[in-house]
A and B are shown apart, each in its own frame.
Chain A
Amino acid sequence: MKLIYEKSKKGRHGFSLPEDQFKEINLKDCVPRYAKEKKEKELPEVSEVEVIRHFTKLSKLNYGVDDGLYPLGSCTMKYNPKVNEKLASIDNFLYAHPFTDEKYIQGSLQIMYELGELLSKITGMDKFSLMPAAGAHGELTGVLMIRKYFEDRGEKRHKMLIPDSAHGTNPASSAMAGFKVVEVKSNERGGVDINEIERLMDEDTAGLMLTNPNTVGLFDENILKIAKIVHSKGGLLYYDGANLNALLGIVRPGDIGFDVLHLNLHKTFSTPHGGGGPGAGVVGAKSHLVEFLPSPIVCTDDGKYFFEYPKKTIGRVRAFYANFPVLVKAYAWILSVGGKGLRQVSEASIINANYILAKLKKYYKPAYDRTCMHECVLTGREYKEYGVKTLDIAKRLMDYGFHPPTIYFPHFEPYAEETIMVEPTESESKETLDEFINAMIKIAEEAKTKPDLLKEAPHNTPVGRLDEVKAVREPKLHA
C-alpha cells in the first residue's frame, strides 16, 4: 500500500485554520537569527478526504479484538466496552488542563481517588499511585520504591531475585533501578525453586519479583512459604500483576505476602491496547511502602479531593498525574462488572484456558501437564521433526482467521521451549474456542502431512513473512 507521502500533491491540504488576524506582527521580529530554519519541512500535502481514506485503508490491514479471537498469552486481549470509551472522553475531562487549581477538577480527582480505593479492595493493597503509564513503568516505580525503602533503613541491598519465567520487563526494570539481577530457576512443577530462594535470599538481596499466576499459567502453590522466606530475611516481595485476570474476587495479592505491585489496567481492567498503548500500570503499596509512592497521590478529606506529596517519595516518574482517560475506563469497567461479576470474569477466563488446554494437549505438549489458571502454555516441540517451527504454526493460524497466541515466551529450559501461550480471556464463547481448537488440530495435521504449507504461511494476508534481517542490514527507518 502507498505511503501517505506517495499521495502528496503540491497545493493540497487537510486543515482548517482561523484567519491570520495579526498582520501587524512581523514574524521576522519574532524569530531570532540563530533559530531561523534553513530547510523547509517537507510534510506531505493531502486533502482531508485522502487522509481519511488512507487511514481507513491502513486500518483494514490491522486485526483488533473486535475482529475476533486474540488469544495472546500474557496480554489479556479482552473486549473493550464501548460505553467506557464514551465516558472517558466527556468534555469536562477531555479539555481539563493539568495545571488548573484542584478546586476546579474535583470530578477528575474523585474518579482517581475512587479508582484507587476500588483497586485496593480488589488487591488488598493499602494505597495506589495511578501515575505510571504502562506495566513496565509501574515495575520501575515499584522497584525504585523498594530501593528507597532500604536506603531509608540504611541497608545496602543491591540484588533482586527474578524467576527465569518472568516477563522481560522484570529484569529490565530491576536493572534500570540499579539492581543486579539474580535469576531463579523454575522447578519441575512450574513454580520457582524454593530451595534456590532459600539459598539466594541473603542480606544483599532486596527481594523477589514474582508473577503469580506465573507466565506458564500456574499459581505457585508455595507462595506462602516463599513470602515467609523472603520476609524472614528482611526482603520485600514484588508482585507483577500485569495480568490479574485469574484472581479477581478469588485471591488478593495483598493477602499472600506481596508488599508492592503493579497492575496493567490495559489488561485485566479492559482498557484497550491501542496497538501497544497507552495503558496504565498503576502501583499499589502496603502501608510500610506508601510513603515512597511517586508524587503526587490523590487523597480526600471532608468531601474534598486533593494531591498529596508522600514524605519519602521516589519523586515523579512522568509529567503531570496519570493517563487519565485510561483510569476512567477501568473505573467504569469495575463498576459495570461489580463484585459478583469480577469473580465471574476470573472463573470464565480460567475455565476457557483449561478447556483449550484439555482439548489441545494431545496435539501440542504443554510445558506442564497440570490444570492452569487464566492461560495455558502449550509447545510446538513435536513438529520440529517435520521441519516445522512454532513460528510456522502461528503464521498458519492467520490463514484460519485468528490472531496467533504469544509464541516463544515464556522461554526457559528445559520446560518451556517452542512455547505457544494461549490466553482466551472471559470474552470468548465456547463456540469461538471450538473453532480455534479445530483450527489448531488441523494445523497439527498439516504439520505432519503438508509441512510446506505451514512454512510458507500465511497465504491470505496483505503481505507474507517479512525479511527482518534485511530490515536491520539495510535500515530504512523513514521515507
Chain B
Amino acid sequence: MRYIPNTKTDEEEMLKEIGVSSFNDLLKDIPEEVILKKTLDIPTLSEEELTEKIFKISKKNLDFRFLKPLIGAGAYRHFVPEAVKAVISREEFYTSYTPYQPEISQGNLQSMFEYQTHLSRLTGMDVIIPSIYDGASATAEATLMAMRLTHKNKVITSSLLHPHYLETVRTYTAPHQTEIHIAEYKNGLSDLKSIESMIDENTAAVIVQSPNFFGGIEDIESIARIAHEKGTLIIQVIAESLSLGLLKSPAEMDVDIIAGEAQSFGMDLNLGGPYNGYLGSKMKYIRQIPGRIAGETTDKEGRRGYVMTFRAREQDIRREKATSNICSNHALNIVAGNVYLSLLGKNGIKKIAELNTKATHYLRTKLIETGKFSGFKYPFFNEFVLEVKDKERIKDKLINNGFIPPFDLGTYYPGLEGYMLFAVTEILTKKDLDFIVNLLER
C-alpha cells in the first residue's frame, strides 16, 4: 500500500522489539468475539481508476464552472484569484495542525493576527475570532454568548435572518430554555416597531442580519439604539461580508456582537462548505466569546511573535465550563481570507463592493423597466426580491442559457411563493445582465 512505508520485514522486526510474536498479541484487550473475522467488503482502486471514477461522478453535476449564478442566499460566487489558491495549496499551510507549538507555527499565527486586523478594520470591532465553522454556527454561538453575558434567555430575531442561521440558532439554544421571538418585516426590511414591542426585561439580545436575507440594508444604528435603551444587546449578523467594503461598520453603529460569514473573501461555493464564520465583540466581552484568537507578544530576546491567547475560555482547559466546545475550526480559510483581503486592499474591497451594488441595481432597474416584474422597494446591497409570475418557466430558461436561477423565496417564506431573490456579483458582466433582461422579457 503506497501510503504505508513499512514492509512485512520491518513489521516483523518491530514486533520482535515490542516483545510479541504476532500482531494479534497486541489486540489482547479486545474481546475475541467482536474482532472482525472477514475483510471489509470495499474495493481497492488504483490512483488512475479512482480519478476516472470521481471525474465520471462529477459529470452528473451540471457544468457549474460555466453557469453564472443569479442566486446568493448566503453563498456568493465571487471571483477567487489564483493567488489565493496557490497559497492555501502550500503544504506548510494545509498539512499543519492547530498552532499549539507557536515556535514552529508562526506562519499560521501571524496570518490569524493579520486577518483579525483586516476584519477589525472592516467591522471596527476590538475582538475578532477569525474562525467559527460558518455564519450559521457563529450566529448560534453569538446567541449563547449574549445569553451568558446577560443571564437572560429570550432573544428576538428578525424574520430576515438567513433561514438556515435561524434553524441553527434554534438547534443550539433548544437545551437552554430559550424563547425565540421572530420580529416582522415590512417592505424588505425589519420592522423596528415590531422589534421594539417584543423587547422586555428578560431579553438577552436582538439579532438582525444586515444586509438581510433579502439583501436589504438595515438601519442597524436605530435598532442598536432601541436595544440599548431597553438594556438589551444587539447582535449584527453579516452573511455577505463583502458589504463591509461599502457600508458603515458595525462598531460605528454601536453593535455589541457580530456574527459573520466570510465566504465572499476568497472561498469557492463548494455546495455550501467549508466557508468561514467569524465573531466579533467589544473588548469588555472577550471572556465570554468562543473560539481561538491570536495575540501579539515577544520572546525572551524581545522578538515579536504570535500565540493563541485568552485560552482560559477554551474546552481543552475549561472542559464543561468553556465558552464553547469548538476545537478545530476552518483555519485554512483564515489564510484564504487573509490573502484575498491583502490582495484587494483598501481600494479593492471598496471597488468590488461598489461594483456588486451597481450591477445589482442595474439589473433590478432594467427588470422593473420591462414592466413584467414588481417587488418591494428598499435599499439593498447585492440581492433584491422581485415577484416573478412564470417562475418555473423562468427557472428553465435561465438554466438553459447558462445561469443558475434566483432563490425561490416560497421555500422559506409562506406568502412569498411568487417571489424570487436575485443576486448579482462581479462575475456577471453588463453583457450578461442585458442578456438576462432580454431573456426574461420575452
Contact = CB atoms under 8 A, between A and B. Distances in A.
A133 B330 contact: yes
B105 interface: yes
B218 to A, nearest CB: 8
A1 B110 contact: yes
Contact of A34 (B30, B128, B222, B347): B222
Nearest to B355: A20
A172 B320 contact: yes
B81 interface: yes
A3 B309 CA distance: 19
A277 to B, nearest CB: 4
A131 B310 CA distance: 29
Interface string B241-257: 00011111100100000
Contact of A41 (B23, B175, B244): B244
Contacts of A371: 18, 20, 25-26, 28-29
Nearest to A182: B320
Given A134-B327, A461-B104, A13 B92 contact: no
A221 B33 CA distance: 12
A363 interface: no
Interface in B270-323: 270-275, 283, 286, 292-301, 303-307, 309-310, 314-322
Interface string B202-232: 0000000010000001011110000000000
20 contacts: A12-B345, A13-B348, A46-B343, A62-B93, A62-B107, A90-B58, A93-B270, A95-B65, A97-B69, A97-B404, A144-B171, A224-B34, A248-B40, A276-B331, A314-B171, A316-B168, A317-B172, A332-B50, A337-B44, A347-B23
A35 B217 contact: yes
B59 interface: yes
Contacts of A18: 355, 426, 429
B246 A37 contact: yes
Interface stretch (A71-79, A193-201, A283-291, A382-390): A71-79
Interface stretch (B112-120, B179-187, B367-375): B112-120
A272 B331 CA distance: 11
Which one of B3, B5, B35, B379 has the highest number of Cβ atoms from chain A below 10 Å of its Cβ? B3
Contact of A169 (B62, B315, B329): B315
A339 B286 CA distance: 48
A250 B27 contact: yes
B108 A110 contact: no
B247 A37 contact: yes
A30 to B, nearest CB: 5
A430 B75 contact: no
A460 B406 CA distance: 56
A350 to B, nearest CB: 5
B239 to A, nearest CB: 9
Interface string A181-214: 1000000000000000000000000000000000
A414 interface: no
A345 interface: yes
A278 B355 contact: no
A178 B144 CA distance: 12
Contact of A429 (B6, B18, B273, B362): B6
B292 A354 contact: no
A85 interface: yes
Contact of A87 (B54, B90, B309, B330): B54
B11 to A, nearest CB: 6
Given A25-B361, A58-B106, A174-B320, A63 B92 contact: yes
Contacts of A316: 136, 164, 167-168, 171
Given A83-B51, A171-B320, A320-B271, A355 B18 contact: yes
B201 interface: no
Contacts of A17: 348, 351-352, 355, 426
Contacts of A465: 103, 299-300
Nearest to A221: B29
A61 B120 contact: no
Interface string B1-37: 1011110001101110111100101111111001110
Interface string B101-141: 11111111011011011101110101110010111110000
B269 A94 contact: yes
A244 B333 CA distance: 26
B4 A40 contact: no
A42 interface: yes
B170 interface: yes
B34 A251 contact: yes
B273 A133 contact: yes
B40 A62 contact: no
Interface stretch (A99-107, A228-236, A446-454): A99-107
Which one of A63, A179, A218, A406 has the highest number of Cβ atoms from chain B below 10 Å of its Cβ? A63
A90 B55 contact: yes
Given A273-B95, A463-B103, A471-B307, A336 B47 contact: yes
Nearest to B299: A464
Contacts of B391: none
A37 B249 contact: yes
Contact of B14 (A22, A266, A326, A351): A351
Nearest to B430: A21
A55 B87 contact: yes
Which one of B15, B60, B314, B380 has the highest number of Cβ atoms from chain A below 10 Å of its Cβ? B60
Given A61-B107, A219-B29, A122 B40 contact: yes
Contacts of A83: 47, 50-51
A40 B347 CA distance: 10
Given A343-B40, A463-B102, A218 B61 contact: no
